């Protein structure tokens, strides 16, 4: 082994000697404090900095290439997802036509400002600065972008009064959006609750509550709020479901009245059937 190293050294002794001399030269230059040497070191430092700056684009180019690859892959995935959503929408429209389902009717919205509010009573209400001159009448829903506010109960030419969700006289057919469980929305003077929910039905905290299609007053699908908590009371067949409304009534300043018309045929039929069933 030693003989092989010795032979290798003899064959490359000139290069080894040159390398040692170069290292020694740089060492002596670094230890020399003469002005000429200092100037030379400054020039070499600047030259090395320029070279480093010129070749620094190589790692940046590699990094940008990798980032572009990730962005291209993400773009392809998003384009595929958008295509699937378009296909789902078209399929939904085709199925609705095949089944003869009616699309959700378009409603006109009238913007209104809240000019008065009562929030400390059992029958809390709002006064809006729109009325019959704007097409607003009793039994029209009041909404905001956060969800359902209440229902118009009286109107004059330029004003309307609406009962909000936090009113003991307020009722609305509602459902759990996730599990499609139906109930009756009401305020018990303390909490907004969803009534008539049997203990066997699937309702969980965090579920979104919306208006159901069983109401002749409120269009289906209006957001009401979320389930705050669910409890079971001893001796009761129903769950106690407390709802947190989506609308902050304390901060409410503007709202929209939905200009709707109830289905008179449906209302008349249900009234007649109810009369027949009532002894």
Ranges of the chain whose pLDDT falls below 70: 1-2, 5-6, 8-10, 12, 22-64, 94, 97-106, 262-264, 266-267, 270, 275-279
Looking at residue 57, what is its pLDDT?
A: 52
**Domain range summary for the chain, segments of one domain joined by +:** 2-55, 108-261
The string of DSSP letters for 93-147 reads HHHHHHHTPPPPPP-EEEEEEEEEEE-SSSEEEEEES--GGGT--TT-EEEETTE
166-186 pLDDT, tens digit per residue, is: 999 999 999 999 999 999 999
Looking at residue 58, what is its pLDDT?
A: 53
Looking at residue 61, what is its pLDDT?
A: 55
For residue 257, the SS3 value is: strand
CATH superfamily of 108-261: Rod shape-determining protein MreC, domain 1 (2.40.10.340)
88-116 pLDDT, tens digit per residue, is: 888 787 677 666 655 555 678 999 999 99
Looking at residue 7, what is its pLDDT?
A: 73
Looking at residue 235, what is its pLDDT?
A: 84
239-271 pLDDT, tens digit per residue, is: 999 999 999 999 999 999 999 876 667 667 767
């Amino acid at each position: 082994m030693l003989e092989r190293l010795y032979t290798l050294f003899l064959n490359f002794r000139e290069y080894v000697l040159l390398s040692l001399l170069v290292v020694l030269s740089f060492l002596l230059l670094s230890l020399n404090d003469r002005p000429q040497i200092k100037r030379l070191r400054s020039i070499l430092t600047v030259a090395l900095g320029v070279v480093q700056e010129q070749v620094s684009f190589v790692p940046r180019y590699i990094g940008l290439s990798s980032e572009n690859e990730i962005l291209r892959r993400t773009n392809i995935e998003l384009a595929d997802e958008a295509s699937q959503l378009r296909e789902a929408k078209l399929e939904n429209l085709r199925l609705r036509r095949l089944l003869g389902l009616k699309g959700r009717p378009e409603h006109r919205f009238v913007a209104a400002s809240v000019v008065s509010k009562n929030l400390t009573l059992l029958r809390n209400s709002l006064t809006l600065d729109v009325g019959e001159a704007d097409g607003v009448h009793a039994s029209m829903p009041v909404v905001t972008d956060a969800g359902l506010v209440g229902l118009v109960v009286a109107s004059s030419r330029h004003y309307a009064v609406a009962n909000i969700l936090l009113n003991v006289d307020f009722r609305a057919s509602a459902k759990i959006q996730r599990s499609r469980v139906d109930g009756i929305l009401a305020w018990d003077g303390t909490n907004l609750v969803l009534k008539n929910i049997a203990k066997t039905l699937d309702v969980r905290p965090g579920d979104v509550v919306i208006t159901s299609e069983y109401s002749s007053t409120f269009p289906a699908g209006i957001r009401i709020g979320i389930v705050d908590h669910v409890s079971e009371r001893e001796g009761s067949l129903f769950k106690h479901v407390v709802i947190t409304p989506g609308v902050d009534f304390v901060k409410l300043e503007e709202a929209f009245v939905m200009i709707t018309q109830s289905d008179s045929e449906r209302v008349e039929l249900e009234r007649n059937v109810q009369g027949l069933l009532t002894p």
